[in-house]
Amino acid sequence: MNAGHRAKSAKLKLLEGNAGHDSIRNLKKKADLEPEPELIDDIPEPPREIKPEGLKEWNHIVPSLIKSKVLAYHDLSFLATYCNIHAAIVRYEQIGETPPAALLTQYRMMAESFGLTPASRSKVNIIGEKEIKEKDIRKFIG
């Protein structure tokens, strides 16, 4: 089993500022060939299996995920799981117990997947911003 880095799509590499060795031009060509997920435009009905506290989280984050254009139809079951983990953490806190570390880790990792943490949001740059900066730098160094 390979323990290396997970493969990233060309679109994700562009959004993160292309920390790899691919040229922006090649990444844009690859990105154009990648399938587009069907993004959600309207707030969907939450799945029935979401617990009450998870439903509050669903109603809290779904509008901003849609506005950010990061929520696709195939993400909904993953998001429902995230919301139920949120509900479990709230239940632990309500009874005065500390949630298990594994549950908190899973929650953090899922939150990062949707860009819900400051660190995960900071990884996303405007597409083309780095390319513009590189052109500006070349003007000064020749």
Q: What is the pLDDT of residues 30-78, one digit of tens each?
A: 777 777 778 888 999 999 999 999 999 999 999 988 888 888 899 999 9
pTM of the complete model beyond 0.75: no
Neighbours of 104 (CB within 10 A): 14
CA atoms within 13 A on the CB side of 113: 14
Residues 6+ apart with CB under 8 A from 13: 19, 20, 22, 27
Neighbours of 7 (CB within 10 A): 6
* Whole-number Å distance between alpha carbons of 78 and 69: 16
pLDDT value at position 33? 76
Model confidence over 120-136: pLDDT tens digits?
A: 776 654 334 444 445 44
pLDDT at 9 over 80: no
